[in-house]
């Protein structure tokens, strides 16, 4: 559970940085990738994210590469096992043939084959699907997708699990966790202050209920020694088991090696949240009010510049935190009684941004489908900016010529989203607004953005603002929620 914050310490201590031999990726994006021809007040997304930026040069992808590079420095006793599985699954043609063959032989193998394809391609097959269709679909997906995306969670556990456990035990792993906790304590303190100021929370003792929820029902996922140890045992077990499957390199030996893992995932032998901690990508999550930040995201804390830290990492963490407090009324949420439809202003802002900047990202933006994500974004950026402004802005010196610290925050925020939607979450039922709309809708709402870039009232970024849509802070209407 959450460790009680020590406020004084948080304000006096900066996040520590490591002697990692790499550049500050957000800084280098701002220095080298900005489209200076595009006016920030006209279209901030277009200004920060040039349309010709290759995927492998986005901040998110470069962070993932950096993490993989760091993790590759560790050797584990499971390297051979990992390599064996890796080699096999990268030989798609063989996997397709083997899948078809094994699937046709017996019913039991067919279920395993289906399970494997279900888990990897996320396309559902059933017992009445033909083995050819299963094999063909797998092959097609394998051909089209990056293998890491294709195999998803299941093989992330195999490929990255053992090394991530070693990484967790390293100095860098400890440092990242420490930075994360420091940030979270500072942010939580700011959230607490915002709750105290929020007029609509004063109804029905909402302030007390929200504060208590923040203190007791909400936590930060940590890779404790217990968790690490449990996973070490799991990998020992998997490897032992897979030894009996060697040495032939057929689907049955592969399925034999992997079936234990599939069974483990299916049985959820560990809390389901833990399964995602091996993902190497820029990602973060909130599962039942527990926040998990992946390694690639944590690497953003290795900077001395607080504007960049708060704009990039801070916004992502804040978004996950705010999922607990901006809820569109799920039944199991204790806070649901405090919510009404008055989150309407969020939807209106996204619709207005779409009307102004409309592009293919707009489709679900501003609808009920994206409302919880949009509202969490809006709550996050306000609280994160306020935390940054009160605690760091006054004594921060910009380290990029021609860019102020206020501007730096917004640059850092937007530079995290220069990613095509389809790659942003790898998920066909994405409930997020597209990156373009996320960036421009949020910044239209921020008066601080307008001031930082001295945008004219009739500039597109400013005029696309609807009413002031504040969720938690003194500026909210008293009756925003009843």
Ligand X SMILES: *[C@@H]1O[C@H](CO)[C@@H](O)[C@H](O)[C@H]1NC(C)=O
Interface positions with ligand X (CB under 6 A): 35, 37-38, 46, 50-52, 54, 56, 102, 105-106, 108-109, 111, 114-115, 118, 124-126, 128-129, 133, 204-205, 233, 236-237, 240, 245, 248, 250, 252-253, 256
Cis peptide before 247 (omega within 30 of 0): yes
Q: How far is the CB of 136 from ligand X (least distance, A)?
A: 11
Q: How far is the CB of 396 from ligand X (least distance, A)?
A: 29
Q: How far is the CB of 212 from ligand X (least distance, A)?
A: 12
Distance, CA of 292 to CA of 231 (rounded, Å):
17
Name which of 37 and 226 has its Cβ closer to ligand X: 37
At residue 220, the 3 state secondary structure works out as strand
Cβ atoms of 74 and 170 closer than 8 Å: yes
Name which of 32 and 248 has its Cβ closer to ligand X: 248
Q: How far is the CB of 447 from ligand X (least distance, A)?
A: 24
Strand order of the β-sheet with 284-287 is 219-220, 290-293, 284-287
Name which of 56 and 395 has its Cβ closer to ligand X: 56
User: Hey, how many other C-beta atoms are within 10 angstroms of the C-beta on 92?
Assistant: 16
Distance, CA of 263 to CA of 441 (rounded, Å):
43
HSE of 302 in the Cβ direction (CA atoms, 13 Å)?
A: 21
Name which of 301 and 440 has its Cβ closer to ligand X: 440
Q: How far is residue 434 from each of residues 173, 418, 420, 466, measured CA to CA in Å? A: 32, 11, 8, 19
Q: How far is the CB of 266 from ligand X (least distance, A)?
A: 8
Q: With CA atoms as reference, report the closest residue to 232 among 192, 263, 267, 274.
A: 274
Q: How far is the CB of 383 from ligand X (least distance, A)?
A: 25
Cβ atoms of 410 and 312 closer than 8 Å: no
The length of the chain in residues reads 482
Q: How far is residue 406 from each of residues 8, 305, 393, measured CA to CA in Å? A: 24, 12, 8
Name which of 97 and 250 has its Cβ closer to ligand X: 250
Q: How far is the CB of 89 from ligand X (least distance, A)?
A: 16
Q: With CA atoms as reference, report the closest residue to 179 among 279, 65, 278, 310.
A: 310
Cis peptide before 78 (omega within 30 of 0): no
Distance, CA of 251 to CA of 257 (rounded, Å):
9
At residue 355, the 3 state secondary structure works out as helix
Q: How far is the CB of 204 from ligand X (least distance, A)?
A: 5
Q: How far is the CB of 146 from ligand X (least distance, A)?
A: 12
Name which of 250 and 351 has its Cβ closer to ligand X: 250
Q: How far is the CB of 106 from ligand X (least distance, A)?
A: 4
Name which of 275 and 388 has its Cβ closer to ligand X: 275
Name which of 52 and 458 has its Cβ closer to ligand X: 52
Q: Cα angle at 126 between 125 and 132, to 5 degrees?
A: 65
The structure tokens 């994360």 sit at 180
Q: With CA atoms as reference, report the closest residue to 304 among 438, 177, 400, 238.
A: 400
Name which of 87 and 205 has its Cβ closer to ligand X: 205
The CA R_g of the chain, rounded to the nearest whole Å, is: 24
Element (H, E) at 291: strand 290-293
Q: How far is the CB of 79 from ligand X (least distance, A)?
A: 16
Name which of 107 and 402 has its Cβ closer to ligand X: 107
Neighbouring-strand partners of residue 291: 220, 286
Distance, CA of 394 to CA of 306 (rounded, Å):
11
Structure tokens at 168: 């967790």
Distance, CA of 79 to CA of 98 (rounded, Å):
24
Name which of 53 and 393 has its Cβ closer to ligand X: 53
Element (H, E) at 450: helix 447-452
Neighbouring-strand partners of residue 293: 284
Q: How far is the CB of 130 from ligand X (least distance, A)?
A: 7
Name which of 1 and 105 has its Cβ closer to ligand X: 105
């Amino acid at each position: 559970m959450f460790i009680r914050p020590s406020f004084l310490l948080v304000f006096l201590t900066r996040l520590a940085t490591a002697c990692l031999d790499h550049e500050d990726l957000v800084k280098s994006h701002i220095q080298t990738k900005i489209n200076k021809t595009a006016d920030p007040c006209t279209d901030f997304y277009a200004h920060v994210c040039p349309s010709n930026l290759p995927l492998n040069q986005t901040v998110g992808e470069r962070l993932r590469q950096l993490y993989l590079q760091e993790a590759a420095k560790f050797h584990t006793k499971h390297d051979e096992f990992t390599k064996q599985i890796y080699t096999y699954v990268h030989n798609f043609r063989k996997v397709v043939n083997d899948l078809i063959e094994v699937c046709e032989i017996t019913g039991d193998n067919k279920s395993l084959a289906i399970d494997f394809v279900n888990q990897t391609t996320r396309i559902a097959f059933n017992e009445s699907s033909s083995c050819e269709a299963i094999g063909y679909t797998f092959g097609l997906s394998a051909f089209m997708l990056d293998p890491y995306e294709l195999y998803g969670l299941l093989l992330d556990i195999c490929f990255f699990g053992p090394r991530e456990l070693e990484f967790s035990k390293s100095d860098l792993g400890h440092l990242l966790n420490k930075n994360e906790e420091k940030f979270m304590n500072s942010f939580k303190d700011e959230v607490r202050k915002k709750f105290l100021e929020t007029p609509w929370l004063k109804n029905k003792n909402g302030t007390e209920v929200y504060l208590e929820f923040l203190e007791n029902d909400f936590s930060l996922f940590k890779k404790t020694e217990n968790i690490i140890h449990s996973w070490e045992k799991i990998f020992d077990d998997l490897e032992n088991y897979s030894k009996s499957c060697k040495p032939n390199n057929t689907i049955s030996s592969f399925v034999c090696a992997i079936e234990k893992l599939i069974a483990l995932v299916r049985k959820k032998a560990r809390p389901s949240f833990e399964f995602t901690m091996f993902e190497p990508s820029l990602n973060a999550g909130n599962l039942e009010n527990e926040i998990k930040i992946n390694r690639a995201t944590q690497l953003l804390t290795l900077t001395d510049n607080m504007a960049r830290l708060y704009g990039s990492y801070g916004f992502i963490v804040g978004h996950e935190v705010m999922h607990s407090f901006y809820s569109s009324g799920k039944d199991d949420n204790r806070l649901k009684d405090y919510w009404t439809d008055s989150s309407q202003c969020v939807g209106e802002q996204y619709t207005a941004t779409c009307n102004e900047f409309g592009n293919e990202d707009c489709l679900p933006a501003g609808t009920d489908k994206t409302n919880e994500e949009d509202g969490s974004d809006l709550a996050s950026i306000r609280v994160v900016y306020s935390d940054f402004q009160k605690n760091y802005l006054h004594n921060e010196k910009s380290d990029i010529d021609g860019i102020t610290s206020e501007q730096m925050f917004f640059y850092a925020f937007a530079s995290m989203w220069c990613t095509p939607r389809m790659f942003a979450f790898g998920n066909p039922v994405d409930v997020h607004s597209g990156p373009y709309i996320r960036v421009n809708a949020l910044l239209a709402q921020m008066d601080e953005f307008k001031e930082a870039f001295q945008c004219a009232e009739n500039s597109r970024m400013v005029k696309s603002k609807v009413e002031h849509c504040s969720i938690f802070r003194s500026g909210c209407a008293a009756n925003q929620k009843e």
